[in-house]
Amino acid sequence: MINEDHSGLDAAALHRLQAAVESDIEAGRYDGANIIVARHGEIGLQASVGWSDRKAGRTAAPEDVYRIFSMTKAFTNVLALQAIDRGELALTTRVVDVIPEFYGRDRFRTARKDRVNLAHLLTHRAGLVTTPTPLPYDELGDLGKVIDAVCQLDVVGEPGTTLNYSPALNHALIAEMVRRATGAASVRDLMKREIFDPLGMDSTALGAPRKWAERYVPVRASFPDGGWLSTADVEVMEEIITEEAEMPWVGAVSTARDIHSFTEMLRRRGEYDGNRILSPAVLHLATTNQTGDLPNDLYRALAEARGWDVPPGNFGLGFALSGTGTHASFFGSTTSPRTHGNYGAGSTLFWVDPERDLTFVCLTAGVMEESENVLRFQRLSTLAAATAL
């Protein structure tokens, strides 16, 4: 559905964006998508394109529930920012002050751990190892076991000096710090109470509730051999993201409409439908570049492998930022520098452009290899930015 009468959006540009997604799907680059573009809070484009399950012939629908992978980190970020707003944590709070066992059993081996703080975790500068799996897959859903495993790992870099994207460890620790600081029984309950319920996100959860079984989009990938992740590493997530699994770095499920509600809260400076989720002050800081010109080591390797210029990491407090320059990026080069959002392995993305008051949500079926995913979302983000008049 395209709102031809939306005065702040170019209808022809909205048609181009939808046509680009349709062309991608017809070419077999991915199977389907749910996309939303809105400006000033009014939706200009909401479309379900292609298939949610191509093999089964199930066409995409607004009710499709996706495993959103690392977009889950956005919810964990907000829990941490709320704890800062409420004086329960500070950016300078050390992990060991809240999780004493983070020191590990061998203090000589983990001597740098006493310097890792919440700001380091939120900006991926903690110096922890970058493994996405600190435990075997069948144990990853147990957050308590994950925290115990993380506590036994060494810090391999100097905290605060390098930026290396952490697929799992940083946000597992962030979530546990918030859980302990707030006294919550579980991170799942905390997310529901503090984010999903106030925002009316009734098709979003940490874990995959069985009651939505017929609405889930299958996790299917086709990666070339020799990459950082294999096809099996991604497709196994369909098995381990269960109703009971509590993985606050990768384990949430949601719909495009619910993610749009989340972006609306960010666009409205922390408020939605009369509910104050975050203060404008902490959200302003969180969407300001905190990592300077540091490159993101994970994406440095990807860029060098493709022969691209190495981009700066451009991280705020948990949120990825557009920044400036003409390097390959998820948000494209035409979004404003303070554009902020998050993305998940080869398939999901949202951003908020505060200068244009524009939001973009795109959840896709079929997980792409990451460098191809960057190019795909760079193109779609540029098309989305072009819709704003």
Residue 58 has pLDDT above 50, yes or no: yes
Beta-carbon contacts of 213 under 8 Å, excluding residues fewer than 6 positions away, are: none
Quote the tokens at residue 276.
């104050």
Per-chain mean pLDDT for the chain:
94
Q: What's the confidence (pLDDT) of residue 108? A: 46
Check: CB of residue 32 under 8 Å from CB of residue 60.
Answer: yes
- How large is the average pLDDT for residues 216-227? 84
Whether residue 88 has pLDDT greater than 70 = yes
**pLDDT band, residue 224 (cuts 50/70/90):** confident
pTM check: above 0.85: yes
In 3-state terms, the chain is what percent helix, strand and coil (to 5)?
A: 40, 20, 45
The tens digit of pLDDT for each residue in 293-324 reads 999 888 888 888 899 888 899 999 999 999 99
Helix, coil or strand: residue 361 = strand
Structural tokens at position 247 = 């993985």
- Alpha carbons 129 and 167: distance in angstroms, whole number: 10
- Rounded Cα–Cα distance for residues 190 and 206 (Å): 10
pLDDT of residue 2: 80
Report the residue count for the chain.
389
pLDDT tens string 127-176:
998 888 899 999 999 999 999 999 999 898 899 998 999 999 999 999 99
- 173-210: per-residue pLDDT in tens? 999 999 999 999 999 999 999 999 999 999 999 999 99
Gap between the terminal Cα atoms of the chain: 19
Q: How much is the CA Rg of the chain, to the nearest whole Å?
A: 20
H/E element, 45? strand 42-53
Question: Residue 64: pLDDT band by 50, 70, 90 thresholds?
Answer: very high
Write the pLDDT tens digit of every residue in 247-281.
999 999 999 999 999 999 999 999 999 999 999 99
CA distance 309 to 176: 36
pLDDT tens digits for range 363-387: 999 999 999 999 999 999 999 999 9
pLDDT for residue 66 is more than 70: yes
